[in-house]
């Protein structure tokens, strides 16, 4: 089956492709099944497009003294599909202050320990609070996730509303900034969805690709959620589906959606 189709690919620099491969194997987590918010590159003060290249740090800024920051986990995924925020992958976490003694909850390091449903960090009830996760090296970031606390009886999860999330590149420039809201980020506050959300940057350069899938006639299908291919020119092709489909269906849908007239 040959599928000529217009698809979106993610351009990435050798700092991502080569260094990530050299570091294998790395600890990782999976973003399969996470509620998603698709975003695009923002525009800088001089009209330049701000891509998520060479990202070094994610920061959450506290909205007010009455709304401290406490989340279960922060995950930052590179184009290689690896969660580079994990402490075991060299990620570091720090915060402006800590509420409590640090027993049971509080320290910033808890947001990168790999336990999505474990203990939470907790900044103090003070103005201008913040939480930061810094990567071991500048990374071409494809997506990031925040796991809000979901099991409290006092609706403390609602404190995340109004906070601002930012991504910084290696020069300290803000390449993405967004205020968290109930309308735009509802999954972060929905207990049935486990109060979590994955931000995915869908901006990419379109290229024409001919994909060929060969299988035996007796095979009924190859189950797949996503497909990631390394392409020439330091780029990544990424196809995904929210539900499990056959691989050939995933490719076919991409071809129908992006085929040239």
pLDDT band of residue 1 (cuts 50, 70, 90) is very low
Which of 16-30, 32-46, 161-175 tops mean pLDDT? 161-175
pLDDT confidence of residue 104: 85
pLDDT at 134: 98
Q: Which of 76-80, 83-87, 242-246, 248-252 has the highest mean pLDDT?
A: 83-87
Distance from C-alpha of 8 to C-alpha of 203, rounded to nearest angstrom: 8
- For tokens 């698809």, the residue is 7
Residue with tokens 């024409």: 208
Distance separating alpha carbons of residues 148 and 154, to the nearest angstrom: 14
Residue 101 has φ and ψ, to the nearest 5°, of -90, -10
Coil vs helix vs strand at 134 = strand
State the pLDDT at residue 94: 98
More confident residue, 143 or 104: 143
More confident residue, 133 or 205: 133
CA distance 51 to 201: 9
């Amino acid at each position: 089956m040959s599928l000529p189709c217009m698809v979106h690919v993610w351009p990435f620099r050798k700092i991502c492709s080569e260094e990530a491969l050299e570091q294998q194997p790395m600890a990782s987590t999976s973003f399969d099944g996470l509620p998603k918010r698709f975003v695009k590159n923002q525009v800088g003060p001089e009209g330049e497009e701000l891509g998520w290249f060479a990202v070094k740090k994610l920061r959450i800024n506290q909205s007010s003294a009455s709304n401290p920051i406490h989340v279960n986990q922060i995950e930052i995924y590179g184009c290689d599909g690896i969660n580079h925020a994990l402490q075991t992958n060299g990620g570091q976490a720090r915060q402006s202050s800590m509420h409590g003694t640090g027993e049971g909850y509080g320290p910033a390091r808890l947001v990168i320990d790999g336990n999505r449903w474990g203990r939470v960090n907790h900044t103090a009830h003070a103005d201008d609070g913040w939480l930061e996760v810094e990567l071991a090296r500048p990374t071409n970031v494809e997506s990031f996730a925040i796991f809000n606390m979901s099991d409290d009886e006092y609706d403390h999860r609602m404190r995340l509303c109004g906070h601002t999330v930012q991504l910084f590149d290696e020069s300290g420039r803000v390449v993405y900034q967004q205020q968290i809201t109930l309308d735009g980020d509802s999954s972060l506050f929905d207990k049935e969805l486990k109060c979590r959300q994955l931000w995915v940057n869908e901006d990419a350069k379109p290229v024409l690709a001919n994909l060929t899938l060969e299988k035996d006639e007796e095979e009924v299908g190859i189950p797949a959620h996503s497909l990631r291919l390394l392409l020439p020119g330091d780029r990544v092709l990424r196809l995904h589906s929210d539900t499990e489909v056959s691989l050939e269906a995933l490719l076919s849908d991409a071809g129908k959606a992006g085929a040239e007239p």
